Structure 1
Amino acid sequence: MTIPWGTNQLRRLGEALRDNREPPESCPPYRHVMIWFDALAATVLEEIRQVDWTPIVGDIPFEVVSRSKTIDTLRQKLRRDRHTPLQNVQDIAGVRFEADMTLTTQDAVVREIALLFDHDPDDPRVVRDLRSDPHKRVSRCSSLAPIAGRARRGAGAHGASGRLGERLRDRGRRHREGDPLRSDSR
C-alpha cells in the first residue's frame, strides 16, 4: 500500500498536531491518515495470523494484536523528538506478536515477520533490537516491515494490562488537557 499523501502534507499535519493547532487546509484530515494506517495494520495483522507459527513457537499460546497510537501518544512522541516528522514515526500503527517466549524464539519470530514481508532480517533498518534498553519494561525486538511488527516476551496478562494502562493514560490525558483536535474533522 502506497501512502496517498505527500511528505510535506504529512510533515505539516504532524507539526500542527505537535503544536496543538489547526492543520493547514492543504493537509489531509487526521482521521483519514489514521484510517489509512489502521487499514495497513489490519492487512499486516491478517498476513501474520495466516502463518503457521507452530514450527517456531510450538504449543506456546500467542496473540497477534494491532493498535494505533492515539492522538495524545502521537502528539507526545512528536513533542519528544521535534526533529522526527509525522511521516517518519515508525509506529503510528503497529502489530504485536505477544507470547511468553524465550529470546531465541523471539528472534525467530522477528526474523520470520521480516521475511514474510520480503525484508532482510539482518538489516538494522528493518529489525531493531530494543531488548538491551534498560528503560523498556518488556523485552522486545521490532521488525519495521512494513509497519512496526513487534515480537514481545512476557505478554499474556502483562500485555493485556499494558494495553489497558495505555488506554487509561490516554483517556486521563484527554480529560485533563482537553483535545480540540480529537473531535475535529482534521
Structure 2
Amino acid sequence: MSGVPVYLPARYSANAVKRLGVELARDEVLSPDAQVLYEEFISDAQARVMAVQGQLESGRPLYAGVVPRSLSLEVAGRTKTRRTLSDKLRRTPGEKLPSIHDVAGVRLVAELTLLEQDLLSDMIVQSFANHPLATRKPKVIDRRKEPQHGYRALHIVVYLHGRPVEIQLRTTWQHSWAQLMELIGDRWGREPRYGFRVIHSDPLEAARRQKVVDLLQMISPLLQSLEEGTSLMGLIHLKPSAVVASRLGVSVPDLQRLAARIQVNDQEVETLTQQAQALFSELGELIGADPHVEGAYSGESEGRQ
C-alpha cells in the first residue's frame, strides 16, 4: 500500500486504557504517568486515522469504477480532543475508554443517493476486511434505519491491530443536517445532540433556540423520506453491473430495464429539494453560522454512537 504510513501496534494494555479513562473522567489534571499514556494513546489513534485515510485514498479508482460520483468524496480525519473524551466519559459513566470506537475517526462526504452510499459502503467494508493490519471484520452501523436524535449516516468501524477507527459515510443531505446540529452544540451547548432541551438563563432565548432545534428534528424524517424516495435515481449515475444488480436483488437485464425507466427530471423531487435547501439556509442564519463553511471535522465534533 504505497503512501500509507507505517503503523505500529500500541504498547499499552486494555486495562491501562481503562484506568486512563477513569482518570480522564475524574481529574482536570492528569498524573505524569497518565499524561504519558494519554499522549501515546492519542498518537496511536492518529496513526490509525492516517492509515485509514491512506487506504481510502488509494481505493478511489476502485470505488469510482462502481460509484463514479465517489471521485468527489471529501475525506477528513481527526482524533477526539481530551475535553471531548472527558465529557463523553462523564456523560456515560458505564462506558469505558477502550469501548469508545470513534476516538479515531474519518469522515467521508459526497453527493450520493442511498443506493450509491450502500454500494460504496460495501466496497469500503471489503477493502478493510482484506487490509493487512485488520484483526477483525469491519462492523457497519446503519444510523439511517435507526437515527439517533435525528442523526442519520452510515458508520463503518474498522479494526487495525485490534483497535477501532470509525468511518462516517454521509450523503450531502445527511452531512448538512449533522453539521447544523454540531454547530448548535458549539454555540448553544451539547444537550440537544443527545435529546435534551436547550439550557439558557433567559426563557425567551431558550424558547427561540429550542424552536430551531425542534425544526431541525422535524427536518430529519423529511430528508429520510426524500432520500428513500429518490434512492433509485442513483441508477442514472451507475453503469448496470452484476455488483449493482446484486445489491438490489435483481438480474442485470431487470436492472437495465429499471434504469431505463428512471426519470431524470422529476418536478416533485426538484421542489422538495429546493424547499430542503431553503430550510437549511434559514436554520443556518438562525444559528448564526454557515454550515458549509464552519463545522469542519475536528476533535470537538463526534459521531453519534
State the TM-score, normalizing by the size of structure 1: 0.75
Which amino acid is the alignment partner of residue 54 of structure 1?
A
Deviation at residue 43 of structure 1 after TM alignment: 0.9
Deviation at residue 87 of structure 1 after TM alignment: 1.2
Structure-2 separation of matches of 1:63 and 1:155: 14
1:180 is matched with none
Larger Rg: 1 or 2?
2
Is residue 40 from structure 1 mapped to residue 48 from structure 2 by the alignment? yes
Structure-2 separation of matches of 1:5 and 1:102: 42
State the TM-score, normalizing by the size of structure 2: 0.48
1:150 is matched with 168
Residues 113 and 149, structure 1, Cα contact 8 Å, conserved in 2: no
Note the residue ranges of structure 1 that are not aligned, 5 or more in a row.
174-186
Structure-1 separation of matches of 2:107 and 2:31: 33
1:95-139 per-residue CA deviation (whole Å, 9 max, x = no partner) reads 1111121112111222212211117xxx99711111133435553
Pair 1:160–1:83, CA change in 2 (3 A)? closer
1:112 is matched with 123
1:49 is matched with 57
Structure-2 separation of matches of 1:3 and 1:84: 21
Structure-2 separation of matches of 1:152 and 1:83: 29
Structure-2 separation of matches of 1:150 and 1:140: 7
Structure-2 separation of matches of 1:96 and 1:7: 26
Residues 142 and 148, structure 1, Cα contact 8 Å, conserved in 2: yes
Structure-2 separation of matches of 1:135 and 1:115: 26
Does the residue aligned with 2:155 lie in a helix, a strand or coil?
A: strand
Residues 138 and 152, structure 1, Cα contact 8 Å, conserved in 2: no
Structure-2 separation of matches of 1:133 and 1:124: 22
1:71-116 per-residue CA deviation (whole Å, 9 max, x = no partner) reads 1221122122212211111000111111121112111222212211
1:69 is matched with 80
Structure-2 separation of matches of 1:112 and 1:162: 29
Greater relative contact order, per chain length (Cα 8 Å cut-off, separation 6+): 1
Please point out which of 12, 23, 48 is paired with 1:16.
Answer: 23
2:93 is matched with 82
Pair 1:91–1:111, CA change in 2 (3 A)? same
Between Structure 1 and Structure 2, which shows a larger proportion of helix residues?
2
Please point out which of 158, 165, 169 is paired with 2:186.
Answer: 169
Deviation at residue 24 of structure 1 after TM alignment: 4.8
The alignment of Structure 1 onto Structure 2 pairs a total of residues equal to 168
Residues 98 and 155, structure 1, Cα contact 8 Å, conserved in 2: no
Pair 1:55–1:102, CA change in 2 (3 A)? same
Which amino acid is the alignment partner of residue 146 of structure 2?
D
2:287 is matched with none
- CA RMSD after TM alignment: 3.1
Residues 62 and 98, structure 1, Cα contact 8 Å, conserved in 2: yes
Residues 125 and 144, structure 1, Cα contact 8 Å, conserved in 2: yes
Greater shift in the superposed pair: 83-92 or 128-137: 128-137
Which amino acid is the alignment partner of residue 14 of structure 1?
G
Deviation at residue 3 of structure 1 after TM alignment: 2.6
Does the residue aligned with 2:27 lie in a helix, a strand or coil?
A: coil
Residues 97 and 151, structure 1, Cα contact 8 Å, conserved in 2: yes
Is residue 127 from structure 1 mapped to residue 143 from structure 2 by the alignment? no
2:215 is matched with none
